[in-house]
Amino acid sequence: MEKSRPLWANPLQFVFACISYAVGLGNVWRFPYLCQMYGGGSFLVPYLVMLIVEGMPLLYLELAVGQRMRQGSIGAWKTISPYLGGVGLASVVVSFFLSMYYNIINAWAFWYLFHSFQDPLPWSVCPLNDNHTGYDEECEKASSTQYFWYRKTLNISPSIQDSGRVQWEPALCLVLAWLVVYLCVLRGTQSTGKLEQLANPKAWINAATQIFFSLGLGFGSLIAFASYNEPSNNCQKHAIIVSLINSSTSIFASIVTFSIYGFKATFNYESCLNKVILLLTNSFDLEDGFLTASNLEQVKGYLASTFPGKYSEVLPQMRNCSLQAELATAVQGTGLSFIVYTEAIKNMEVSQLWSVLYFFMLLMLGIGSMLGNTAAILTPLTDSKVVSSHLPKEAISGLVCLVNCVIGLVFTMESGNYWFDIFNDYAATLSLLLIVLVETIAVCYVYGLRRFESDLEAMTGRGLNWYWKAMWAGVSPLLIVSLFVFYLSDYILTGTLQYQAWDAFQGQLVTKDYPPYALAVIGLLVASSIMCIPLVALGTFITRCLKRGDTPPAA
């Protein structure tokens, strides 16, 4: 199998594939949010600690397993122990869930990219109402960027219960996104500030989580990539390189994001002041130019004391303008990529150029991660003699992409964004923690750490130092258990799970409870991957007993 297995053209190609997979949208839209939430620069302390004790060791572990076993996730873990085939299967299931919804982000990026060539940008101004007597009411209550996202892009329904119909324009963009992924897959391996926050346990937990999911641990993609390496490849060096580049990208992205935050906050603050000045000038017949930002508060006090009745009538129409409040607004996910960034872009000079560059960058990040996710599904399938003997690789790739694309049409419905949030929040979190925990225990205590060390030394000519051994055998598993307990207790203490729904009449998001069937889907998403591990182990045990003519012992 080793002779017939395709190989990377050179180690650099492998490193770039890992970087393309690891550096994704989470670096752009989650890391800056966490920095803002947990003290700015001080968040780097727990982040870098978690990188050292969790990120690099677990990344090296998965690369080493893939390179040693030279198989996809299912075959690799079955080689370590026949009872561990469920670990690889769980990884494939999680990667399948991720692929189902992740590519809709690329579809949205295509949609915005196509609209970026218009002048003015379609999200820069509110459209006129049906009578052409003013602006659309929903857009006026929200903002032009929110309106374009929630109404023009998603055409979002008021709740998850109102499914609506498939939106054909985003659906076509989704088909295009999957076509790009399929064409890339066909080329195979030949192409492809507040220091008190340090005492906040959530800062450390979120730092660990960001490292964990940003590197893509547990999906099976890294094992799949490493399985195409030469056995002598120095995967230890590559694990360190990929980890550092991934983290450096996150830090660089946060610097850019905070610049955009500052630009947006200042612009919104000045715009708010100008509206208040215009309102007071017109309401009290003040001379143009008399009221300025510097004397606004003084004049407001004078007007309130001199004309209390009239001032009280105007007061409900006045917004409370605060630069600190604007700067303190923390947004992540699609809200950051498709609302906050676009609001900043629309106010820049040559906004069309910046918009094209920004959404092209999003596409490159998203498609790079999608190729890794798809590889995690395809590699075990093409390694399987049962599947590959009946279908060529091109057909297997096409079927996987087609199935994902058809299921992904759910996310183009009017309620699709709510289902996207469900998959994004619950499809992988607990599952990946358990998968990587079992992987670490399997290598250290089932296969044997000394035996694995000997294998690595025989392959690469380099032994393991105390750092890797200590992390694999003790520190990393204990950290994963802590994260698992935190997430489990957090889900339990949260009570009824809720989601943010768009209220067109108020022009803002409102909180609603998930209906029972949505909660059932959440349960299935979590259980379907986790249960693969014990069920496959049990099935293997029963099969072996039957082959020996024995019966399983009574409990």
- Dist. CA 213–CA 22, nearest whole Å: 9
Q: Is 214 annotated as a binding residue?
A: yes
- Taking each helix axis as running N to C, give the angle between helix 85-115 and helix 516-530, from 0 to 180 degrees, rounded to the nearest 10: 130
Element (H, E) at 170: helix 168-186
Q: Is 23 annotated as a binding residue?
A: yes
Q: What is the three-class DSSP state of 372?
A: helix
- Residue 388 marked as a ligand binder: no
What number of other Cβ atoms are within 10 A of residue 82's Cβ?
Answer: 14
Taking the alpha carbons at both ends of the chain, their separation in whole angstroms is 40
- What are the tokens at 273? 């002041």
Identify the CA nearest to 144 among candidates 129, 128, 124: 124
424 is an annotated ligand-binding site residue: no
Say what the alpha-carbon torsion angle 220, 423, 340, 39 is, to the nearest 10 degrees: -70
Separation between Cα atoms, residue 102 and residue 484, nearest integer Å: 23
Question: Is residue 322 annotated as involved in ligand binding?
Answer: no
Picking from 213, 175, 218, 107, the residue whose alpha carbon sits closest to that of residue 425 is 213
Instruction: Give the C-alpha separation, 50 to 42, whole Å.
Output: 14
Q: Is 27 annotated as a binding residue?
A: yes
473 marked as part of a ligand binding site? no
3-state percent breakdown (helix, strand, coil) of the chain, nearest 5: 75, 5, 25
Dihedral angle, C-alpha 202, 203, 206, 210, nearest 10 °: 180
Q: Provide the CA 496 distance to its chain's centre, in angstroms.
A: 24
Could you tell me the two tokens for 449? 């750490």
List the binding residues for Na(+): 22-23, 27, 214, 246, 365, 369
What residues are designated binding site?
22-23, 27, 214, 246, 365, 369
